[in-house]
C-alpha cells in the first residue's frame, strides 16, 4: 500500500492533467500523476508508423465504434493527446460558450474568468500564428478561400515561441521538444516544484464511501502487481473522455451522465490530386496551420463543419481514400506526393456513449452513430472544399464516398472559375447525393463531453461547476469529458481552460488545509 503524504492525485497525463498539476504545484501543493501509458523522452521519439501507433495510441490506433462506422484515434502515452496532437490552438467559439451558459447554467464560461483561463494556457505554451511556413495543403486552403471570399485564417501553434519548424511527424510525438504539451511545458515546471509521476500504472477503481474518496486500486502494467494508494485529499480524473467515464463506472458511481452525451467531432477527408508535375511534399512543414469556417454554423447554433488539413502520412491518407476496388485504391495511394488532403471536421449534434465491459479486462465499448444533420454538414463542407481545390488548379478531386464519381479537369489554373460549366454540373450532382452511414470513411481524434459538468444539478450532468462529482465531493473531472457538449474547435485549448478553472477551484478548497 502506497501512502504519499498529503498528495493530491491526478489520474491521467493529458492536456487537462498537465494544467492541473502545474496550477496546484505552483500554489504550493504536492501532486502525484498516474499514467497507464509509457513515458518516452524526446530523444526516443523516432518511431515509424507501426511502432508509433502501437506505443502511443489507444488500441494501437485500431479503436472503432461498436458498429465499425467510425474509427477513433486517442493518445495512450505519457502526455496523452497533447503528446500526439497536431499543435493546433483554437479558442472556444463564442456561440459554444453561450450555449453552455444558456443550456447548462455554467456562469464562468460567459465572463472574464474563462477569458483569463484561455489566455493563461495560450501564453504558457507560447501559442502563436506568427512565423508559420504553411504546407502545400494549408497554403491551398488559405489561398483558395481568399480567392472565393470564404472565411479562413491561420491556426496558431503551441510552439513556445520557437520559429515554425519543418516537422510533419508530430503525431508520433515531438522529437525536438518544441510542441508545448504536458510533457514539454506543463509538467516541467510542476516537476521542478516537487510533482511526482508514475507511468505504466493503470488505476482500476476509486475507493469511496459515503460520498468521500479515500484511495485508489491500481495495477503496475509492467509487472502485473496490484497495489493501493491511500491518503490523497483530492482525486482528479483526467483520463480522457473514453477512460474517465469507464473508471467512474467501475468505481460504482451511478449518475446517468457518466459515459453519456459523448461527442466525437466526426471527420472525413477530401483529397485533391494536383498531378505528377506538382510535388506537394506532404511530409514537410506543420500538419495543421489553417482553417476555413465558411460552413461551420449551419443552424445558428455553431453546428456545422470546419475545413482544415489532415496529417499527410500514407497510412492516414489510405484510411480515407475511398474504396472502389483494389487497383483504384493502389493507384490513389501511389499519388501521395501529388496530393493535398483536406479535413472536414464537424461539431456534432450526434451523441453516443462509452461503457466499460465488465466481462473483459480493460475493455470498453463506444456506441455512436453519425446522424443525418451531421452528415449533411460534412457534405456542405465538401462542396466548399471542392471549390477551393478547383480554383487552385487541382487535376482530380477524389470524393470520399465510394459510389460518387471523381471530378477531373486539365484546365489551366489561371483560367478557372467556380462557374465553369463542367465543374458546376459535377458540383450540383454531388450536392444531391447524401453522405451515407457506410461507404464513407469517418474518423474522430476528439472525444468530449462524456462526464459533463452542469450548473443544473445531477439530472443534467455528472459534475458541478467546480468539476466535482455530484456523488463524491473530492473527486473532480478535469479533461475533455467535462465539456457540456462538443467544443466546435480543436479541443486542446478548451480542455486546458476548463482544467485551469477547475484547478483554481481545487486550490481554493485546499487553502484552509495544511500545505506541505
**Does any domain span residue 363?**
no
**Does any domain span residue 387?**
yes
Write out the DSSP string of 31-64: EEEE-SS----GGG----HHHHHHHHBGGGGTEE
**Does any domain span residue 85?**
yes
Q: What is the CA angle 188-194-199, rounded to 5?
A: 65
What distance lies between CA 377 and its chain's CA centroid? 19
pLDDT above 60 for 394: yes
Pairing relationship of beta strands 472-477 and 235-237 according to DSSP bridges: parallel
Sheet holding 8-11, edge to edge: 196-198, 31-34, 8-11, 235-237, 472-477, 468-469
Task: Choose the final residue of a domain: 423, 441, 459.
Answer: 441
Is residue 473 packed enough to be buried (19+ CB in 10 Å), middle (13-18) or exposed (0-12)?
A: middle
- Let me know whether 13 and 47 are in one domain: yes
Question: For the chain, what percent of residues have pLDDT higher than 90?
Answer: 90
- Let me know whether 469 and 426 are in one domain: no
3-state secondary structure of 13: coil
- Among candidate residues 151, 164, 153, the one with its CA nearest the CA of residue 381: 151
Do residues 226 and 4 lie in contact, with contact meaning Cβ atoms separated by under 8 Å?
Answer: no
Residue whose C-alpha cell is 501553434: 157
d(CA 271, CA 171): 20
- Let me know whether 119 and 105 are in one domain: yes
Bridge partners (DSSP) listed for residue 153 = 291
- Let me know whether 247 and 285 are in one domain: no
> Which candidate in 165, 243, 446, 460 is catalytic?
446
Q: Report pLDDT digits (tens) over 64-122.
A: 999 999 999 999 999 999 999 999 999 999 999 999 999 999 999 999 999 999 999 99
Cell numbers at 329, concatenated: 485504391
- Among candidate residues 104, 109, 157, the one with its CA nearest the CA of residue 129: 157
3-state secondary structure of 407: strand
**Does any domain span residue 208?**
yes
- Let me know whether 250 and 299 are in one domain: no
Range of the domain at 280: 267-347+371-441
- Among candidate residues 298, 310, 291, 319, the one with its CA nearest the CA of residue 388: 291
Q: Find all residues with CB under 8 Å of 504, minimum gap 6, and list them.
A: 23, 117
- Among candidate residues 307, 270, 272, the one with its CA nearest the CA of residue 394: 272
pLDDT category at 22 given cuts 50, 70, 90 is very high
Task: Choose the final residue of a domain: 417, 441, 465.
Answer: 441
pLDDT category at 362 given cuts 50, 70, 90 is confident
Q: What is the CA angle 153-107-243, rounded to 5?
A: 75
Mean pLDDT of 437-451: 96
d(CA 259, CA 324): 36
Q: Quote the pLDDT of residue 324.
A: 87
pLDDT above 70 for 427: yes
pLDDT above 90 for 6: no
Mean pLDDT of 156-165: 84
Mean pLDDT (the chain, rounded): 95
Sheet holding 226-230, edge to edge: 201-209, 212-220, 226-230
We report the CATH number of the domain holding residue 51 as 3.50.50.60
- Let me know whether 432 and 455 are in one domain: no
- Let me know whether 339 and 487 are in one domain: no
**Does any domain span residue 505?**
yes
d(CA 264, CA 347): 8
**Does any domain span residue 357?**
no
Q: Quote the pLDDT of residue 4.
A: 52
3-state secondary structure of 234: coil
Helices (H), 353-439: 372-391, 421-431
**Does any domain span residue 227?**
yes
**Which carries the bigger pLDDT value, residue 2 or residue 37?**
37
pLDDT category at 192 given cuts 50, 70, 90 is very high
Cell numbers at 107, concatenated: 456562469
Q: Report pLDDT digits (tens) over 306-328.
A: 999 999 898 898 999 999 889 99
Do residues 479 and 17 lie in contact, with contact meaning Cβ atoms separated by under 8 Å?
Answer: yes
Q: Find all residues with CB under 8 Å of 221, minimum gap 6, and list them.
A: 36, 200, 201, 202
Count: domains in the chain: 2
**Which carries the bigger pLDDT value, residue 501 or residue 438?**
501
Q: Quote the pLDDT of residue 359.
A: 78
d(CA 269, CA 381): 10
Do residues 52 and 76 lie in contact, with contact meaning Cβ atoms separated by under 8 Å?
Answer: no
- Let me know whether 496 and 376 are in one domain: no
pLDDT category at 155 given cuts 50, 70, 90 is very high
- Let me know whether 114 and 227 are in one domain: yes
- Let me know whether 341 and 276 are in one domain: yes
460 is catalytic: no
Pairing relationship of beta strands 290-295 and 305-309 according to DSSP bridges: antiparallel
Q: What is the CA angle 451-442-69, rounded to 5?
A: 75
pLDDT above 70 for 15: yes
d(CA 83, CA 14): 8
pLDDT category at 2 given cuts 50, 70, 90 is low
pLDDT category at 516 given cuts 50, 70, 90 is very low
Q: Find all residues with CB under 8 Å of 432, minimum gap 6, and list them.
A: none
pLDDT above 70 for 5: no
Mean pLDDT of 406-428: 98
**Does any domain span residue 412?**
yes
Task: Choose the final residue of a domain: 387, 411, 441.
Answer: 441
- Let me know whether 191 and 230 are in one domain: yes
Do residues 274 and 395 lie in contact, with contact meaning Cβ atoms separated by under 8 Å?
Answer: yes
pLDDT above 70 for 186: yes
CB count within 10 Å of CB 402 equals 17
- Let me know whether 342 and 404 are in one domain: yes
What distance lies between CA 421 and its chain's CA centroid? 39
Helices (H), 334-478: 372-391, 421-431
Do residues 487 and 248 lie in contact, with contact meaning Cβ atoms separated by under 8 Å?
Answer: no
Amino acid at each position: 500500500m502506497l501512502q504519499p503524504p498529503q498528495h493530491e492525485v491526478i489520474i491521467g497525463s493529458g492536456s487537462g492533467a498537465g494544467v492541473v498539476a502545474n496550477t496546484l504545484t505552483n500554489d504550493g501543493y504536492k501532486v502525484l500523476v498516474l499514467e497507464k501509458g509509457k513515458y518516452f523522452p524526446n530523444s526516443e521519439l523516432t518511431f515509424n508508423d507501426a511502432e508509433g501507433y502501437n506505443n502511443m495510441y489507444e488500441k494501437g490506433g485500431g479503436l472503432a465504434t461498436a458498429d465499425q462506422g467510425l474509427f477513433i484515434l486517442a493518445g495512450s502515452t505519457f502526455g496523452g493527446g497533447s503528446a500526439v496532437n497536431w499543435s493546433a490552438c483554437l479558442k472556444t467559439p463564442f456561440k459554444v460558450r453561450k450555449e453552455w451558459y444558456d443550456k447548462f447554467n455554467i456562469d464562468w464560461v460567459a465572463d472574464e474568468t474563462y477569458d483569463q483561463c484561455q489566455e493563461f494556457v495560450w501564453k504558457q505554451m507560447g501559442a502563436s500564428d506568427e512565423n508559420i511556413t504553411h504546407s502545400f495543403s494549408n497554403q491551398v486552403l488559405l489561398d483558395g478561400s481568399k480567392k472565393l471570399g470564404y472565411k479562413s485564417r491561420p491556426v496558431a501553434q503551441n510552439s513556445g515561441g520557437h520559429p515554425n519548424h519543418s516537422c510533419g511527424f508530430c503525431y508520433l510525438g515531438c522529437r525536438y521538444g518544441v510542441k508545448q504539451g504536458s510533457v514539454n511545458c506543463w509538467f516541467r515546471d510542476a516537476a521542478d516544484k516537487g510533482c511526482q509521476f508514475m507511468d505504466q500504472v493503470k488505476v482500476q477503481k476509486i475507493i469511496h464511501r459515503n460520498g468521500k474518496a479515500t484511495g485508489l486500486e491500481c495495477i503496475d502494467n509492467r509487472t502485473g502487481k496490484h497495489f493501493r494508494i491511500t491518503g490523497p485529499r483530492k482525486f482528479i480524473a483526467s483520463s480522457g473522455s473514453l477512460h474517465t467515464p469507464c473508471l467512474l463506472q467501475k468505481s460504482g458511481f451511478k449518475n446517468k451522465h457518466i459515459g453519456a452525451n459523448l461527442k466525437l467531432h466526426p471527420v472525413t477527408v477530401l483529397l485533391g490530386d494536383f498531378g505528377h508535375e506538382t510535388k506537394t511534399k506532404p511530409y514537410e512543414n506543420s500538419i495543421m496551420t489553417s482553417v476555413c469556417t465558411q460552413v461551420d454554423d449551419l443552424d445558428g447554433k455553431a453546428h456545422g463543419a470546419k475545413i482544415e488539413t489532415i496529417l499527410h502520412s500514407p497510412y492516414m491518407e489510405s484510411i480515407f481514400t475511398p474504396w472502389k476496388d483494389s487497383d483504384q485504391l493502389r493507384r490513389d495511394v501511389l499519388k501521395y506526393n501529388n496530393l493535398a488532403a483536406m479535413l472536414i471536421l464537424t461539431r456534432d449534434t450526434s451523441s453516443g456513449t462509452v461503457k466499460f465491459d465488465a466481462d473483459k479486462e480493460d475493455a470498453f465499448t463506444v456506441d455512436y452513430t453519425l446522424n443525418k444533420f451531421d452528415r449533411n454538414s460534412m457534405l456542405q463542407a465538401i462542396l466548399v472544399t471542392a471549390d477551393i481545390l478547383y480554383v487552385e488548379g487541382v487535376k482530380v478531386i477524389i470524393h470520399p464516398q465510394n459510389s460518387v464519381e471523381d471530378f477531373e479537369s486539365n484546365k489551366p489554373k489561371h483560367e478557372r472559375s467556380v462557374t465553369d460549366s463542367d465543374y458546376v454540373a459535377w458540383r450540383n450532382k454531388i450536392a444531391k447525393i447524401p453522405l451515407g452511414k457506410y461507404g464513407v470513411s469517418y474518423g474522430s481524434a476528439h472525444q468530449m463531453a462524456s462526464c459533463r459538468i452542469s450548473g443544473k444539478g445531477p439530472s443534467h450532468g455528472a459534475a458541478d461547476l467546480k468539476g466535482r462529482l455530484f456523488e463524491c465531493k473530492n473527486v473532480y473531472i478535469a479533461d475533455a469529458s467535462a465539456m457540456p457538449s462538443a467544443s466546435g474547435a480543436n479541443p486542446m485549448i478548451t480542455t486546458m481552460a476548463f482544467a485551469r478553472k477547475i484547478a483554481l477551484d481545487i486550490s481554493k478548497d485546499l487553502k484552509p488545509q495544511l500545505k506541505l
